A and B are shown apart, each in its own frame.
Chain A
Amino acid sequence: MSKAVMEHADAADVFNKDESYVDWHDETLWFVRTKRDKSSKLLPEWENLRETASQIKNYVLSHMDELLETFEKNAKANGIHVHWAADAAEHNEIVLGILKQHHVDRMIKSKSMLTEECHMNEFLTRNGIEVIDTDLGERIVQLRNEPPSHIVLPAIHLKKKDIGDLFHEHLGTDAGATDPQYLTEAARQHLRDKFLTRKAALTGVNFAVAETGGFVVCTNEGNADMGAHLADVHIACMGFEKLVPLQAHLGVFLRLLARSATGQPVTTYSSHFKKPREGQEMHLVIVDNGRSAQLGRADFRNSLKCIRCGACMNTCPVYRRSGGHSYHNAVAGPIGSILAPNLDMTKNADLPFASTLCGSCSNVCPVKIDIHDQLYKWRQVLVQGGHVPQAKEIGVKAMSMVLSQPRFYQWSGRLGRSVMRTLPFMVNNSLNPWFKQREMPEPPKESFRDWYVRNRE
Chain B
Amino acid sequence: MSSREKILQQIKLNKPTGTDLPLQYTFDSGYENTEAKFKEILEAIYTEVIVVDSLVELKAKVEEMYAGVVNKATTIPELADWADFSLQLSDPHELEMIEVAILQAEFGVAENGAVWISDNHLKHRALPFITQNLAFVIPRNALVNNMHEAYQRLTDTTGWGCFIAGPSKTADIEQSLVIGAHGARSMVIFLVEN
Contact = CB atoms under 8 A, between A and B. Distances in A.
Q: Is the interface of B mostly helix, strand, loop or mixed?
A: loop
B168 A268 contact: yes
Interface in B83-124: 92-93, 96, 109, 111-114, 118, 124
Contact of A188 (B3, B8, B182): B182
Contacts of B21: 55-56, 59, 245
Contacts of B2: 84
Contact of A248 (B4, B152, B169): B152
A270 to B, nearest CB: 4
Interface stretch (A154-162, A373-381, A394-402, A408-416): A154-162
B159 A250 contact: no
Interface string A159-170: 110010000000
Interface residues of B, number: 73
A251 B160 contact: no
Nearest to A298: B16
Given A136-B173, A275-B160, A221 B181 contact: yes
Nearest to A266: B112
Contacts of A298: 16
Q: How large is the interface on A (under 10, 10 to 19, 20 to 34, 35 or more residues)?
A: 35 or more
B168 A274 contact: no
Contact of B160 (A31, A185, A262, A273): A273
B49 interface: no
A63 interface: yes
Contacts of A51: 22
A52 to B, nearest CB: 5
A221 B181 CA distance: 5
Given A45-B27, A265-B165, A272-B163, 18 more contacts: A59-B18, A62-B19, A84-B3, A136-B173, A153-B171, A184-B178, A220-B168, A221-B182, A226-B130, A251-B148, A254-B163, A267-B165, A268-B168, A269-B162, A273-B160, A274-B160, A277-B159, A292-B7
23 contacts: A56-B22, A62-B15, A62-B16, A136-B172, A137-B172, A158-B174, A180-B173, A180-B174, A180-B176, A185-B180, A220-B169, A220-B181, A221-B182, A222-B183, A230-B92, A249-B25, A271-B162, A272-B118, A274-B159, A277-B159, A292-B10, A293-B10, A296-B14
